[in-house]
A = this chain, B = another copy of it.
Amino acid sequence: MIQVAVMGHGVVGSGVTEILLKNSAEIAKRVQDEIYIKKVLDLREFPDSPIADRFTKDFSEIEDDEDIKIVVEVMGGVEPAYTFVKSCLLKGKSVVTSNKELVAQKGAELLKIAKERNLNFLFEASVGGGIPIIRPLNQCLAANNVEEIDGILNGTTNFILTKMIKDSMSFEDALKLAQDLGYAERNPAADVEGHDACRKICILASMIFGKHVYPKGVHTEGITKVTLDDVGYAEAWGGVIKLIGSVKQNNGKHQILVAPMFVPAISQLSSVDDVFNAILVKGDSTGEVVFYGKGAGKLPTASAVVADVMDCVTNIDRRRNIFWEDSSNETIMPFEDTAYSMYVRVFAVNKAEACVNVSNLFGECNAIEKDNTPENEFAFVTPVMKYSDFEKACKSLEKEGCKILSTIRIADF
């Protein structure tokens, strides 16, 4: 019998205990051992739980219990999760977490402690919820040089964008609906500002580079500025707007950012709607591989956590080969040096004159025409240009009397 503790009894945590209890016989058959939940840590009361007697509010009951070999952390947030997880590892317990913030902020340090003590620190559920991605990516990496990852990594923003695209809802109305449906928090900043997606692309980037990529150094734009006009121009251009986390190797540097992008209809990512996530991995041998599924939710995420727990049980005395070193983001390409083709929407009193200025400043651009364009508005797509050059050109255009209403990157995958 293997004894485990679950820290946190929220949405994911209650799913973990539910699966471990409900499927205990099948799980025991698969791992050839019984998994017993010894303790559940939560500050709240759950008198109706079938294992109500095993709840505790005192972390030391887990930390100091030498019989507990595996600890599940599903509390979320950096603290106190970080302190608790570190303590558990230092006490010789393997840890499974779904906490992307923890892994994105403290992954290198926790992986190092786990490695030194021959323990497992697993986090399949931290990216893509129930979509297997961390382990397959590790497998892709085995015989491949992974050159690029582009992903729709946040279900909430994808739901909002889908409602804007399919139902012409405004951002505000779509956000409200997402909140009403429980997809978005009352304070939706982490989702709509792109921070959640940023944590996830940082975890994937850390894996493929073997060096920790910290969110702090990663350019992150959310979807709060995306308007229905932009959605319409994207459609006229031949695609949709998606919030993309992207990382790629570029001349020895690592290019990484999170931003809304025009994604062409031909891309596998363009048809990923609602709360679904999808992650496109490009390897030099495998070519393009896409993983698609629900990126969040109680049971999908909990099942990924339980699969990691089972992996810990069958590998109780050996460490999975998932590791990256610490770093100071020194290989990250400065954001100003990244280069994309850009969509630009402009207000101009004199459109003809403005178009001439656009050609002079941005080079040869392609106009996008859509129905119901306001009289003094037009939109175009620039050639691929360095962001610093693009910004300069934008400033110059505004000096010429135009007002830039929107700028959005064109996906290059």
Measuring CB to CB, which residues of chain A are less than 8 angstroms from any residue of chain B?
15, 19, 23, 26-27, 30-31, 124, 130-132, 135-136, 139-145, 268, 271, 283-294, 297, 299-300, 302-307, 310-311, 314, 321
Q: How far in angstroms is the closest Cβ of chain B from A402?
A: 38
A286 contact from B26, B299, B314, Cβ within 8 A: B299
Known: A30-B142, A135-B139. Is A303-B291 also a contact (CB below 8 A)?
no
- A131–B287 alpha-carbon span in the complex (Å): 9
What residues of chain B lie closer than 8 Å to A300, measured between beta carbons?
285-287
Q: How far in angstroms is the closest Cβ of chain B from A221?
A: 27
What residues of chain B lie closer than 8 Å to A130, measured between beta carbons?
283, 285-287, 289
A132 contact from B136, B145, B294, B299, Cβ within 8 A: B136
Q: Is the CB of A307 within 8 A of B30?
A: no
> Can you report 10 residue pairs joining A to B where beta carbons are below 8 Å apart?
A23-B145, A30-B142, A130-B286, A142-B307, A285-B303, A286-B294, A288-B292, A288-B294, A290-B291, A291-B291
Q: Is the CB of A293 within 8 A of B303?
A: no
What residues of chain B lie closer than 8 Å to A293, measured between beta carbons?
286-290
Across the A-B interface, the 3 shortest Cβ-Cβ residue pairs = A285-B303, A143-B306, A289-B293
Main secondary structure of the interface of A (DSSP, over half): helix
Q: Is the CB of B143 within 8 A of A132?
A: no
Q: Is the CB of B289 within 8 A of A292?
A: yes
- CB-nearest residue of chain B to A310: B142
- A324–B175 alpha-carbon span in the complex (Å): 47
What residues of chain B lie closer than 8 Å to A145, measured between beta carbons?
23, 26
What residues of chain B lie closer than 8 Å to A303, measured between beta carbons?
140, 143-144, 283, 285-286
How many monomers of this chain does the complex have? Answer: 2
Q: Is the CB of B289 within 8 A of A132?
A: yes
Known: A135-B136, A142-B30. Is A299-B271 also a contact (CB below 8 A)?
no
What residues of chain B lie closer than 8 Å to A26, measured between beta carbons?
145
What residues of chain B lie closer than 8 Å to A286, measured between beta carbons?
130-131, 293-294, 299-300, 303-304
What residues of chain B lie closer than 8 Å to A124, measured between beta carbons?
139
Q: How far in angstroms is the closest Cβ of chain B from A265?
A: 9
Q: Which of A286, A292, A293 has the most CB of B within 10 A?
A: A286
Q: How far in angstroms is the closest Cβ of chain B from A113?
A: 20
- A300–B285 alpha-carbon span in the complex (Å): 5
Q: Which of A294, A299, A306 has the most CB of B within 10 A?
A: A299
Besides the known contacts A130-B286, A268-B292, 12 further A-B residue pairs in the complex with CB atoms under 8 A apart? A31-B321, A124-B139, A132-B139, A283-B303, A285-B299, A285-B302, A286-B293, A286-B300, A286-B304, A287-B299, A288-B293, A290-B292
Q: Is the CB of A307 within 8 A of B139?
A: yes
Q: Is the CB of B271 within 8 A of A307?
A: no
Q: Is the CB of B142 within 8 A of A306?
A: yes
- A321–B294 alpha-carbon span in the complex (Å): 26
What residues of chain B lie closer than 8 Å to A31, measured between beta carbons?
321
Q: How far in angstroms is the closest Cβ of chain B from A139?
A: 5
What residues of chain B lie closer than 8 Å to A131, measured between beta carbons?
286, 289
- A311–B320 alpha-carbon span in the complex (Å): 11
Q: Is the CB of A19 within 8 A of B135?
A: no
What residues of chain B lie closer than 8 Å to A268, measured between beta carbons?
271, 292
- A8–B139 alpha-carbon span in the complex (Å): 23
What residues of chain B lie closer than 8 Å to A23, measured between beta carbons?
143, 145
